[in-house]
């Protein structure tokens, strides 16, 4: 085998044969390949994502990094629903419900003015009828005087003659309990037809028995 001489060793020359050189070259090549693979693996695992081929990565300066625009911070307050004071209760239990007042209805005020109470209203005496008796020498004086009584808004029940022994000196109106006001009303309507004053008296039943009417006794002083 051919030998290569590199110098002297202990006064003698030493050298490597071709087999030793080949082995050494193979070891160096394997080592370089392993180093290249390790560098490649490290570059692939770099989270920064450097450029391919394992070259140097350019680090941007602080002035090259854009400043993000400021945005107003979102409000952390959330609107809370305020329960309304007039909200109806959600409970459907009838016992828990507050009592409700019945709706008030207003009646329309009457537009017509109140009319006057009639004379026949309660608590007032009924308007009595009138009995006309003739105690004068004039015939049919009672019947002739009936229209005058009716004109005073009285109803004539009957007319006749008074033939008792006791004569009346003046025309007289006899009334019963509660009828004095009506008797004086009739006297006011007839006073212009009598030459003297017309007397208004309570009927005691001494001469003419009460019959529930005003009794008008005419004398010779009355003119129909």
pLDDT for 87 equals 45
Collapsed DSSP state (helix, strand, coil) of residue 179: coil
Burial tier of 123 (Cβ tally within 10 Å: 0-12, 13-18, 19+): exposed
**Res. 180 pLDDT band, cuts 50 70 90:** very high
Q: 156 and 129 in contact (C-beta within 8 Å)? A: yes
Q: What are phi and psi of 161, to 5 degrees?
A: -115, 145
Collapsed DSSP state (helix, strand, coil) of residue 96: helix
The token pair at 84 is: 């309304």
Q: Which of 3-7, 60-64, 173-177 has the highest mean pLDDT?
A: 173-177
Q: In percent, how much of the chain has pLDDT > 90?
A: 40
26-84 residue pLDDT tens: 787 888 888 887 766 655 555 554 444 445 545 445 455 555 555 555 444 544 544 44
Q: In percent, how much of the chain has pLDDT > 70?
A: 51
What's the whole-number mean pLDDT along residues 192-212?
95
Q: Cα torsion at 190, 191, 192, 193 (round to 10°)? A: 60
* Cβ atoms within 10 Å of 218's Cβ, excluding its own: 28
Mean pLDDT over the full length of the chain: 73
pLDDT for 24 equals 73
Residue from 174, 169, 173 nearest 204 by CA: 174
What's the whole-number mean pLDDT along residues 179-197?
96
**Res. 151 pLDDT band, cuts 50 70 90:** very high
């Amino acid at each position: 085998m051919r030998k290569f001489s590199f110098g002297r060793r202990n006064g003698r020359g030493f050298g490597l044969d071709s087999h030793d050189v080949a082995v050494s070259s193979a070891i160096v090549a394997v080592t370089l390949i392993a180093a290249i693979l390790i560098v490649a693996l490290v570059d692939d695992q770099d989270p920064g994502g450097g450029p391919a081929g394992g070259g140097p990565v350019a680090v941007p300066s602080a002035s090259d990094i854009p400043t993000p625009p400021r945005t107003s911070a979102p409000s952390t307050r959330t609107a809370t629903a305020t329960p309304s004071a007039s909200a109806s209760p959600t409970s459907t239990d009838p016992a828990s419900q507050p009592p409700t007042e019945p709706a008030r209805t207003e009646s329309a005020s009457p537009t017509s003015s109140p009319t006057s109470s009639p004379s026949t209203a309660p608590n007032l005496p009924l308007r009595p009828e009138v009995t006309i008796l003739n105690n004068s020498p004039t015939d049919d004086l009672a019947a002739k005087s009936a229209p005058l009584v009716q004109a005073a808004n009285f109803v004539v029940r009957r007319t006749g003659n008074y033939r008792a022994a006791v004569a009346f000196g003046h025309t007289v109106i006899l009334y019963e309990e509660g009828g004095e006001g009506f008797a004086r009303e009739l006297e006011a309507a007839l006073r212009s037809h009598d030459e003297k004053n017309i007397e208004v008296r309570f009927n005691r039943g001494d001469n003419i028995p009460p019959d529930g009417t005003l009794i008008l006794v005419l004398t010779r002083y009355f003119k129909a």
